[in-house]
Structure 1
Amino acid sequence: MHSKTSPSTSAAPSQIEWEEKGENRSALWHSESGIAPPKRVVIGDDQMTADSAYRLACEGTAILWRGDFQNARQLLQAVARRIETRPKKSAKAKAKERSAAPDAPPAAPPAPAEAFNLHRLAQSQRARTLGMLLLPLDAEYAIPLRRAPVVKEACEEAYGAASGESIVSLREVLGLVGAHEWRKKGVDVEALGARIHPYYGVFSPVRGEYIKLVADQPLPSKELAFDIGTGTGVLAALLAQRGVKRVVATEIDARALACARENIELLGYAQEVKVVEADLFPEGRAPLIVCNPPWLPARPSSAIEHAIYDPESRMLRGFLDGLAAHLTPGGEGWLILSDIAEHLGLRTRAQLQEWVDRAGLKTDGRMDIRPHHPRAADKTDPLYHARSAEITSLWRLVPA
C-alpha cells in the first residue's frame, strides 16, 4: 500500500523522569508510536542478565542503558527470544482442564477476526516489552555509549532538529537507522524501472503487485489524472511514465508530502506531477482518479501503520463517496484494494458493494493479481490462512 492520508501519530516529545546516582533526572521523551514515557526506570549496564531485563520489561519497568551499545543490542535480541519461547500451557495443565470438564466439547479455533485481534494484541505486547530498553541521546543526537553508531541523520529525519538531551527506546533507534538506510538506498520498483526512496513513517512500495496492476490497466485518458493519497509518489510517477500529461497527487501527511515531492523530482517528473496537500481530492475533475487506500479497517498504533490500517474504512468510504463528483464524463476511478480484510472477517464483499452502490457507482471491470511476498507462503504465520488466499484487485469504477 502506498497511500497515507492521515496525520502522523507521533506526539510532541514529553518528559521522562528517573532517579540516577541519588539525583532526580529528566529528559525529552521520543516515541513515534505515541507511547507515554515509562513510570518506572532503572539503570542497566553490561552486568545485567537477559533474564533480569526480561523480567523487568514484562513488569513494565524500563531500563536506561549505560553500558556498551552492542551489548544492548544483544540484550534486546535475547529478550526477544524469551518472548518467542515464552512457555505455553503445558500438556499436563491441558489434561487437568479436560479432566475437570470431561464432557466439554473441544475448543473451537478462533474466528478469523478474533485471530487477527489476538495477533495484533500479541504484536502490541511484544513491542511494548521490547520498547523497555532505553538509550540516551545527547543534544546533538549522539548516543553517549561505547561502540555506538552515528544516528544523527536518522534521528533528524524522524524527529527534526534536536532540542536537548532525550531518551528513546533502542528498538525505535534501530527502526530509525533501518529507515534511513532504505531512504538512502531506495526500493527498486520493477514496473517503474527505477528506485523509490521512502521516508521514515511513509510506507515503502515493497509489494509490487498493486503497482503492476496500475502499470497494466489501459488508460482511459492521458490528459489528466488524480492520485489520491500518493504516499511515496510511486503511482503518480508511474502514471507520468505511462504518458499522462498532468498528474495531481494529493497527501495530508507532512512526511509523505516531502517524500513524494523528492521522489518525483529525482525521477524527473516534476513538470508532469504536482504534489499538493489535500484531504483526499484536489479541486476539479479528472478522467482518471487512482486510489490505493489502507487495506485493513483497524486502528493504527504508529505512524507507519496509517498506510495499512484505516479505522472504520474512513479513507476507502471517503474516496468512494466523492469519486463521482470528481470524474469528468466518461472517466474512471481505479480503486486498488486487497481482499485480505474479507478473509480476516473485518469487512465483507457485500459491505464493499453496498458502499459502491450508495456512492452512485458501478464496477466496469476488475483486474486481479495474487501477492508474491514471502509471508503469503509462510505456514507458521498466524494469519497464513488469510494471506495465502489474498487477492489484490484494481476495480474500475464509473458513475452508475
Structure 2
Amino acid sequence: MSATPTINWSEDQSARPAQPARPARSTQSAHWHSESCAPPPRRVVVADDRTKAATAYQLACEGTALLWRGDFHNARQLLQAMGRRIDRKSNPARPDAPPAESFHLHRRARGHRARVLGKLLVLLEDDHSLALRRAPDVRRACTEAYGPPRGGRAVSLTELLGVIGAHQWREKGVEVPALGEGIRIHPHYGVFSPVRGEYVDLVAQAPLPSASGRARAFDLGTGTGVLAAVLARRGLTHVVATDISPRALACARENADRLGLTDRIEAVGPTLYPEGRADLVVCNPPWLPARPTSTVEQGVYDPDGTMLHGFLHGLAAHLNPGGEGWLILSDLAEHLGLRTRESLLTAITTAGLRVTDRLDTTPHHPRARDTTDPLHRARAAEVTSLWRLIPD
C-alpha cells in the first residue's frame, strides 16, 4: 500500500499572526487529501491577509500552492479575486463554433479554473477543525464527507467550500413534488442532487408495465434513491436500488429510512445490475459521454457511455416476461455533438431491444434560460426523454 501523500512548506514565527504560539519549525508537513485525486503540489508557500490577489494568481498559475494562515473570510475573498482574473483571461469559443468545440473549450476552461483555484489550501486540524480567524465550525461537514478524523490534512479551499455546501444541502434537503407536498430528499456529499425535477416527474407519470405481479423493480445507479422512492410510492413492493458508490448507497438507505420505505427499498452494491429479474428496470445514467474530473461530476459524465451500454446490454436478461426497461436520458449530448440519435437507436437495437413508447419533457432549470452560458444554444434545445424498452 502506498504511503499517504504529504505536502511540505517552510514557515517562520510571523506566518500566523494572532494565533497561539507554536514551537519554531522551519519546515512543516501535512497529509494531503483531494477528492478529485489531484496530486499534492510540489511547492507550497505560506499566504495570509497580506498576500495580494495578483501574487496569489501568478503563483497558482505557475503551479505553486498557497497554504492560507490568515482570516477565513479574507481567504474566500482572495479566491473570488483569483477567479475574476481567470475569467478575464479565458478564451471563449467563437460564436459560430461547432457545439462540440464549444463544449470542449468550456470543459478545458473549467478544468484550468479548478486547477488554479485549487492551489489555495487550508489545513484541517486533527479533529477536522480550522485554526483560522473567523472560521466556521466545519467538523460535522468534514466528518460527513471524509469520515471520522484521522489526523490533520491539507485540502484545497474550493474543496472545503464544496464540503460545507454539501452539508447545507444535506441538512435542508431538496423538495421533490413527485413524492408528495413538502417531501424532501437529502443528498450526501459526492452524490448527485435531484435538483432537476423533470426526470423525476417522468418516472412518476409513465404508465407502469402490464406484467402480472408488477411487484419488483430495479433502480440502477440510484444516487440519492429518489427514483426508487418514487417507484415505491407508486406501489412497487420491492425496489432494489444499486450503485457503485458507497456514498450513494448510504444516502439512498438514509432517504428510504426518512421516508418510511425501508420495507420496500433495498440498496445493494457496488454493482450495476443486482441478481435476479424484475418487472421494471429503471436507469438514469449520466447524460454526457465524457470523463468526470471530480466525485460530483460522476453523476453528469459517463465515459464512453459505459453505464448506458451496460444497462442496455444487460436489460433483456434481467426482465421478467412482460416486463420493460425505462431509460431516462437527455438529448443534450446530441445537441453538443457528443452522441447522435442514430448511435443511440443502434445501441438499443444491438442490445436486442425495441422502443415501445417515449415520453418527453423540456427542462425548466435556470441554466436553460441563461443566455450568457457558453452552452446556451444546446441547453435551450434540450429534451429529456423516458424511453420504454422491451426485448425484441
- Tell me which of 275, 300, 303 is aligned to 2:292: 300
Deviation at 1:373, TM superposition (A): 0.6
Indicate the residue corresponding to 2:215 in structure 1: 223
CA distance in 2, matches of 1:250, 1:12: 32
CA distance in 2, matches of 1:195, 1:50: 40
Indicate the residue corresponding to 1:95 in structure 2: none
Cα shift readout 1:249-275 (whole Å, capped 9, x = no counterpart): 111211001000000011000111111
CA distance in 2, matches of 1:286, 1:75: 53
Q: Secondary structure of the equivalent of 2:58?
A: helix
- Tell me which of 109, 124, 138 is aligned to 1:137: 124
CA distance in 1, matches of 2:99, 2:3: 36
Cα shift readout 1:33-71 (whole Å, capped 9, x = no counterpart): 110111111111111111111111122111111111111
Determine if the alignment matches structure 1 residue 51 to structure 2 residue 43. Answer: no
- Tell me which of 56, 75, 78 is aligned to 1:75: 78
Determine if the alignment matches structure 1 residue 380 to structure 2 residue 388. Answer: no
Q: Secondary structure of the equivalent of 1:191?
A: helix
Root-mean-square deviation (Å): 1.6
Contact 1:187–1:205 (8 Å) recurs in 2 = yes
Deviation at 1:108, TM superposition (A): 8.4
CA distance in 2, matches of 1:251, 1:33: 19
Report the AA paired with residue 164 of structure 2.
V
CA distance in 2, matches of 1:153, 1:37: 25
Greater alpha carbon shift after TM alignment, 107-116 vs 50-59: 107-116
Contact 1:13–1:31 (8 Å) recurs in 2 = no
Indicate the residue corresponding to 1:208 in structure 2: 197
- Tell me which of 44, 63, 71 is aligned to 1:41: 44
Indicate the residue corresponding to 1:199 in structure 2: 188
Indicate the residue corresponding to 1:238 in structure 2: 230
Cα shift readout 1:273-305 (whole Å, capped 9, x = no counterpart): 111114211111111110000100000001111
Contact 2:232–2:261 (8 Å) recurs in 1 = yes
CA distance in 1, matches of 2:229, 2:279: 17
Describe the shift of the 1:12–1:229 C-alpha distance in structure 2 as closer, same or farther (beyond 3 A).
farther
Deviation at 1:374, TM superposition (A): 0.6
Deviation at 1:86, TM superposition (A): 2.6
Q: Which has the higher contact order (CA 8 A, sep 6+)?
A: 1
- Tell me which of 161, 165, 168 is aligned to 2:152: 165
CA distance in 1, matches of 2:204, 2:329: 15
CA distance in 2, matches of 1:283, 1:49: 58
Cα shift readout 1:100-123 (whole Å, capped 9, x = no counterpart): xxxxxxx88332112111100000
Indicate the residue corresponding to 1:389 in structure 2: 381
Report the AA paired with residue 62 of structure 2.
E
Alignment of 1:1-400 (within 5 A): 14-21=5-12, 23-86=26-89, 109-193=96-180, 194-220=183-209, 222-400=214-392
Which aligned runs of 4 or more in structure 1 are off by greater than 6 angstroms?
Answer: none
CA distance in 2, matches of 1:369, 1:345: 20
Contact 1:230–1:236 (8 Å) recurs in 2 = yes
CA distance in 1, matches of 2:5, 2:63: 18
Q: TM-score when scaled to structure 1?
A: 0.90
Q: Secondary structure of the equivalent of 2:178?
A: coil
Deviation at 1:13, TM superposition (A): 5.2
Deviation at 1:329, TM superposition (A): 1.0
Cα shift readout 1:53-94 (whole Å, capped 9, x = no counterpart): 1111122111111111111111111111222223869xxxxx
Which sections of structure 1, spanning at least 5 residues, go unmatched? 1-10, 90-106
Cα shift readout 1:227-248 (whole Å, capped 9, x = no counterpart): 1111100000000111111111
Deviation at 1:335, TM superposition (A): 0.3
CA distance in 2, matches of 1:14, 1:157: 22
Indicate the residue corresponding to 1:99 in structure 2: none
CA distance in 2, matches of 1:359, 1:55: 52
CA distance in 1, matches of 2:91, 2:373: 17
CA distance in 1, matches of 2:27, 2:242: 47
Q: Secondary structure of the equivalent of 2:236?
A: coil
- Sequence identity (%): 61
Deviation at 1:12, TM superposition (A): 9.1
The number of residue pairs the alignment matches comes to: 373
Contact 2:90–2:109 (8 Å) recurs in 1 = no
